[in-house]
Structure 1
Amino acid sequence: MLFNVVWLQVKRRPSGAYVVQGDHDIDRGWMKEVTKGRNTKIFPRMLFDGWSGEDYLHLFSSEDEIEDCVETILKFIKSQHFQGIVLEIWSQLGGHRKTDLIHFLTHMGQMFREEGRFLILVIPPSAESGADGMFNKEDFNALSPHIDRFSLMTYDYSSPSRPGPNSPLAWMKACVENLVPESNSTLRKKILLGFNFYGYDFVPGSGEPVIGHKFIEILKKHKPDIRWDQNSAEHTIQYKTGIGHHIIYYPSLLSIETRLELAKYLKTGISIWEIGQALDYFYDLL
């Protein structure tokens, strides 16, 4: 089991030096308790946060820049005794500069492997239409020899401008098959199918995330009927307040079990966003 519990940021200083920030959030005591007596590894989530176009231009400009950046990251995670990272960089570039980004990630994967460290890349899902989207099969094929796992963001399917389910089952399946169409391919084990452990509360024109304790409060106050949406394989409730008609899509044991079965069928792993937002009994199935 892998845990992603800390948010770290890679920064490029005006001097040209790279630095990792956010280590003040590392809770050694909690990490010790979580891993004690378990086969559990903790990987921090690392973001290229607040980077300008010029920063990326410098990073991609030479092999020396790439090596300086990756060596800074490796030095940090080794000093903190992490076995790897969950890297978030692809979405920040919005699908642009793919050639440069693949080149950078290829080097990064090779350098991590040489140091015995594990690299998980967060990737966006397919477009609704089934088109390639921001990350496609060609990108996956180029990177799969160098990246250990791909954390596929198969959630946030809907939005306030288009209310609906968080992660329709058929769409999740299509997102995996768009990357690896062959059902017998061993490459599918590199994909971590994304599960949302939060819900979304939609009202006309807006919406907001709903986590476990808030969902319980809504159930107690409004006592709505809980209904199963067969099309998306998600549970939903509806109720009214002074601001209008609400509809909430929120995970349940049945929706989670259905997605676990899908992951088994597709031969992928799973990735949960996120542990602290769930109801306690969600973990009974894991």
Structure 2
Amino acid sequence: MRAINAQIIWCILLGSQYVLCTLTPDSKNKNKRDSKFLRGPQDNDVFTLNLVSPEPLAKDILIHHEGYYKDTALRRFNGTVLGYVTPWNSHGYDIAKIFAKKFDIISPVWLQIVKRGDEYAIAGDHDIDAGWINDVRRKGKVQQQQQLRTVKFFPRIIFDHFTDRDIKLLLSDAKERTELNEMLIRVCKQHGFDGLVLEVWSQLAGRIDDKILYTLVLQMAKELQKQKIRLILVIPPQRKDMPNLFGEKHMDKLYKYIYAFSLMTYDYSTVQRPGANAPLYWVRSAVEHIVPDGCQDMEVKRAKILLGLNMYGNDYTPDGGGPITYGPYLDLLRHVKKHLTHDERDMENFFEIRTETGRHIVFYPTLYSINERIQLAQQLGVGISIWELGQGLNYFYDLF
């Protein structure tokens, strides 16, 4: 076990002598391994198979990642679980159906608020898939304490191609906000949505006065609530360079009116500052920054926080690199002969390799790293929001 920081990563990547592994395995060996892969429903879960290890073997990931425990109705985490689905990742649609009983809310990333002349309108509605929504709802039905629970749908919405004038008019004119909210209500009723996930705070916080931003969000939440439509607000985590975009004072002002808060606790590291995607200590501090231990209504407030959990990773190279999802990750993982390294400070796993394309240091979720964050969420009394379904490995959902 060892910890790693940005300087060490770049020394490794740029060093001339460091080589961890050989080049791409030959196709015969690859095909031989592929024949051992386990796919679909299995009799044993990842805990029974002892796969939740701080230093997992690469071969175990390759063999088991496409399998999952056959009882997909089994839930281990008792908080709220939201899963984001995007139209550019079709596997996420399948994941939502297979594991529907593990989710409380699905948030398809479909919709944008746009201006068409002086009118507010919705773009992206061509992506709305009513048949899939019905399938997920049907598969997600669970009998709980003499009540039937099913999955709720809260599409994410953003403001798209708004000019400074459009923003200024919306923020300064109550009539404009009423027209916007009426349009959103019509869309929700037309498609049977249970609520909306609003991503606006990161866009505007720090640019405008908090009081104006409160007015926009609160008026929307209250008008939607009158129609039994709920609002989830996406919020940024605390960062050293932007510490006060959303904190305790904001939560105190909003929590009674907002259904939940989707906290974006990922993307801590970048190609300019390589490392873990979401260090565990930072994830904890992000929650405590918003709702400190022992504060008034702590349990109520924390139950509304949905801790962001990334299902993607990062591949760092001498040229920079970038985000990586399951396909490219597995291709690189085939070069690893033994265990993945455990970063004991950040509580994530990574591996270092050299291929025909150059050197790579890859941080990507594992059963162990995800389980640590689920346990933290349980300990803090918060829920979970997954970005995004379909980017990770199938057997990850045994953990939820």
**TM-score normalised to the size of structure 1?**
0.94
Paired AA for residue 283 in structure 1: Y
Corresponding residue to 1:34 among 136, 154, 170: 136
Structure 1: any 5+ residue segments left out of the alignment? none
CA drift of 1:62 comes to 1.5
Say which SS state the counterpart of residue 271 (structure 1) adopts. strand
Q: Distance in 2 between the 1:6 and 1:274 partners?
A: 10
Say which SS state the counterpart of residue 390 (structure 2) adopts. helix
1:224–1:239: 8 Å Cα contact kept in structure 2? no
Task: Say yes or no: does 1:12 pair with 2:115.
Answer: yes
CA deviation profile, 1:45-98 (whole Å, cap 9, x unmatched)? 111122111111110121111111111111111111101011111112252212
Query: Which structure ranks higher in relative contact order (CA pairs < 8 Å, sequence separation ≥ 6)?
Result: 2
CA drift of 1:218 comes to 1.1
Bigger CA drift: 133-142 or 226-235?
A: 133-142
Which residue of structure 1 lines up, in the alignment, with residue 285 of structure 2?
174
Which residue of structure 1 lines up, in the alignment, with residue 216 of structure 2?
104
Q: Distance in 1 between the 2:243 and 2:109 partners?
A: 31
CA drift of 1:240 comes to 1.8
Which residue of structure 1 lines up, in the alignment, with residue 226 of structure 2?
114
Task: Say yes or no: does 1:197 pair with 2:293.
Answer: no
CA deviation profile, 1:188-219 (whole Å, cap 9, x unmatched)? 11100000011110113412111112211111
1:132–1:178: 8 Å Cα contact kept in structure 2? no
Corresponding residue to 1:70 among 175, 181, 184: 181
Say which SS state the counterpart of residue 316 (structure 2) adopts. strand
Which residue of structure 2 lines up, in the alignment, with residue 283 of structure 1?
397
Say which SS state the counterpart of residue 276 (structure 1) adopts. coil
Q: Distance in 1 between the 2:163 and 2:244 partners?
A: 23
1:6–1:25: 8 Å Cα contact kept in structure 2? no
Which residue of structure 1 lines up, in the alignment, with residue 197 of structure 2?
86
Q: Which has the larger radius of gyration?
A: 2
The runs of 4+ residues in structure 1 deviating greater than 6 Å are: none
CA RMSD of aligned residues (A): 1.6
Say which SS state the counterpart of residue 384 (structure 2) adopts. strand
Structure 2: any 5+ residue segments left out of the alignment? 1-103, 142-149
1:95–1:135: 8 Å Cα contact kept in structure 2? no
CA deviation profile, 1:145-167 (whole Å, cap 9, x unmatched)? 22110000000000000000000
CA drift of 1:11 comes to 0.9
Q: Distance in 2 between the 1:58 and 1:232 partners?
A: 44
Which residue of structure 2 lines up, in the alignment, with residue 2 of structure 1?
105
1:125–1:133: 8 Å Cα contact kept in structure 2? no
CA drift of 1:185 comes to 3.4
Say which SS state the counterpart of residue 122 (structure 1) adopts. strand
CA deviation profile, 1:201-241 (whole Å, cap 9, x unmatched)? 01134121111122111112454641111111111011124
CA deviation profile, 1:228-283 (whole Å, cap 9, x unmatched)? 11111111011124564311111111111100110011100000000110100000
Which residue of structure 1 lines up, in the alignment, with residue 347 of structure 2?
233
Corresponding residue to 1:135 among 232, 236, 246: 246
CA deviation profile, 1:11-54 (whole Å, cap 9, x unmatched)? 1223x210011111011222221111422112111111221111
Say which SS state the counterpart of residue 192 (structure 2) adopts. coil
List aligned pairs for 1:137-286, cutoff 5 A: 137-183=248-294, 184-221=298-335, 223=337, 225-241=339-355, 244-286=358-400
- Number of matched residues? 284
Q: Distance in 2 between the 1:225 and 1:254 partners?
A: 13
